[in-house]
Amino acid sequence: MTSNIATTLPVYLTDEIRRIEALAGADADPPLMQRAGLAAAELARELIADSRRPILVFAGPGNNGGDAFVVASHLMQWWHRVSVVFAGDVERLSADARAAFDAWRKASGEVLAAPPANANAGLLVDGLFGIGLQRDLDGMYAQWVDYINEQSAPVLALDVPSGLHSDSGSVLGRAVRANHTMTFIALKPGLVTAEGPDVCGEVHVHDLGLDVERLLAPQSYTLGGSILAHCLPPRPANSHKGTFGSVGIVGGAPGMYGAALLAGRAALKLGAGRVYVGMLDVSGQRVDPMQPELMMREADEVLGMRGLACLVLGPGLSRSDRAKECVVRALQLPIPLVIDADALNIIAEDSNLEDGCRSRSAPTLLTPHPAEAARLRHVSTTEIQQDRVGAARALAEQYAALVAVKGAGTVIAAPDARFYINTSGNPGLASAGMGDVLSGILGALLAQGAGGEMALCAGVHLHGAAADELYRKHGGPIGMTGSEVTDAARELLNRAIYVENTRTV
């Protein structure tokens, strides 16, 4: 993959991890399982608050269970009291997992067929299921997961918490709620999107001594804060408002003026030189008293303007016939287009508009929440949430667009199947108007010269990072508003470009 996006960590899907294991496994000395077990045992030793209390290790029937036996062996060698809960078929273990089991038994390690009624453990280690799990947990293993979750001791999960789908972040029936997750070789997408962040706790990545990116070039990354310093250059002294582009906003049907105003204010405060807000009905909103710098226009006038750097389509648009006419006209414009809210719903209802989206030559940015993504894909919202990465990639291909499927761990995908997962944001963003603010931020970045992919990645991360700043400031996410996020985002972007950036300003 080639990209100029500032990223943090590579992310690999399950089949890619398997390929890396195959490429490295034959020559690995010591074997990968031994490396993984030692790395996790060292972390476990750091997590034990009271070394006098026993450690309870849960081992599953596959290689994750083999890792668990290695962890147990090291901890016992370090004089901890350790018991392993295991009920698998020893004869069906892989060669490496069987060797780990035999080593544990040879050292007189205790194997329990079921967890004790009163463990009084100082730490629990979850090694039941790793990245290979594809079906809901049930029966005995579901009961063991419930047992782990009922204990007061901290929990360390090996590779991924048991019950979490490592590619999608969906919970397969139920999942271990870990305090820490030690993931091996590389980060998996399920750890950072959908339900992953709620069950993983703090994620630790250990590459097991492999040069992972040399073995297999990554196709996806997480987005980190460094992207903000690179999304726009410092402003030259010899500049004027025309230097930073004009953004058009089209939306604001009767009763929904606020959505268009939120987008317009965000575009203005994040640096666009001019912002024209095109309302479907401007009669009730000739001026924004809170932001009089915004230029209020009729939607048709904005759609006919020359010289716009980009257009944001959808905030408060509604699904009327006139709104659909606006969508038809907007898709024909030869400028970057951000499509959100009801504009997405209108496109989802008309295959001709889907074709119009696909045939555009200028960048197209789609920013659906899961329900809108479901309408665009003609599936259920549940299906989107069960595979957010797959949904984002499918949408990007279907609409020949850059797509951000919003939510916990927003997934951004390009038409060539590359994807990114955002790591900023918190539940404070679950509030009305937040999507309108994001669309305005994207418009501002596009107007100032950021490319489509950079604008979407940086804008999504900035939006979440601003919410994180407010979380810290107010001590939690409750009551966060879109207007606050806009102001926090402006401060963060200025700081990243002019204070924290080491480039000459």
Q: What is the reported pLDDT for 397?
A: 98
Average pLDDT over residues 63-87: 97
Res 221 pLDDT > 50: yes
Task: Give Cα 239 distance to the centre of its chain.
Answer: 36
Res 2 pLDDT > 50: no
Average pLDDT over residues 98-120: 95
β-sheet bridge partners, residue 60: none
Average pLDDT over residues 141-152: 97
Give the integer Cα–Cα distance in Å for 136 and 390.
19
Report the SS3 class of residue 33: helix
Inter-residue long-range contacts of 428-432, CB under 8 Å, 24+ positions, other chains counted = 428/467, 428/470, 428/471, 428/476, 428/477, 428/478, 428/479, 428/480, 429/463, 429/464, 429/467, 429/477, 429/480, 429/485, 430/477, 431/480, 431/481, 431/482, 432/482
Quote the tokens at residue 235.
């402003």
Amino acid at 228: L
Q: Which of 72, 158, 77 is nearest to 121 (CA)?
A: 72
Amino acid at 77: Q
Res 501 pLDDT > 80: no
Share of residues in the chain with pLDDT > 70 (%): 97
Amino acid at 484: E
β-sheet bridge partners, residue 366: 339, 403
Average pLDDT over residues 249-260: 95
Res 281 pLDDT > 90: no
Task: Give Cα 52 distance to the centre of its chain.
Answer: 39
Give CATH superfamily name and number for 10-218: YjeF N-terminal domain (3.40.50.10260)
Give how far Cα 406 sits from Cα of 194, 203, 257, 426, Å.
10, 22, 23, 12
Report the SS3 class of residue 133: coil
Give the integer Cα–Cα distance in Å for 345 and 354.
11
Over the stretch 414-473, which tens digit does the pLDDT of each residue have?
A: 999 999 999 999 999 999 999 999 999 999 999 999 999 999 999 999 999 999 999 999
Band (291; pLDDT cuts 50, 70, 90): very high
Q: What is the reported pLDDT for 7?
A: 60
Q: What is the reported pLDDT for 3?
A: 47
Cα angle 155, 157, 159 (rounded to 5 degrees) comes to 165
> What is the CATH number assigned to the segment(s) 242-499?
3.40.1190.20
Give the integer Cα–Cα distance in Å for 420 and 413.
6
Cα angle 333, 308, 6 (rounded to 5 degrees) comes to 90
Give the integer Cα–Cα distance in Å for 385 and 398.
18
Q: Which of 124, 170, 167 is nearest to 146 (CA)?
A: 124
Domain locations in the chain? 10-218, 242-499
Give how far Cα 156 sits from Cα of 68, 144, 148, 222, 503, Å.
11, 15, 10, 23, 41
Assess contact for 409 and 403: CB atoms under 8 A: no
Average pLDDT over residues 161-174: 97
Q: Tokens 């490396």 identify what position?
A: 35
Average pLDDT over residues 277-289: 86
Gyration radius from the chain CA atoms: 26
Q: What is the reported pLDDT for 286?
A: 83
Give the integer Cα–Cα distance in Å for 260 and 384.
27
Over the stretch 8-56, which tens digit does the pLDDT of each residue have?
A: 899 999 999 999 999 997 677 899 999 999 999 999 999 997 888 999 9
Q: What is the reported pLDDT for 44?
A: 98
Quote the tokens at residue 162.
């048991």
What is the average pLDDT score of the chain? 95
Give how far Cα 192 sits from Cα of 3, 203, 382, 450, 465, Å.
21, 9, 18, 26, 15
How much is the pTM?
0.95
Strands 419-422 and 364-366: unpaired
Q: Which of 145, 429, 438 is nearest to 315 (CA)?
A: 438
Cα angle 251, 253, 259 (rounded to 5 degrees) comes to 55
Quote the tokens at residue 201.
């706790």
Q: What is the reported pLDDT for 500?
A: 78
Give the integer Cα–Cα distance in Å for 452 and 91.
54
Band (5; pLDDT cuts 50, 70, 90): low
Q: What is the reported pLDDT for 57?
A: 98
Over the stretch 259-273, which tens digit does the pLDDT of each residue have?
A: 999 999 999 999 999
Amino acid at 20: I
Res 505 pLDDT > 70: no
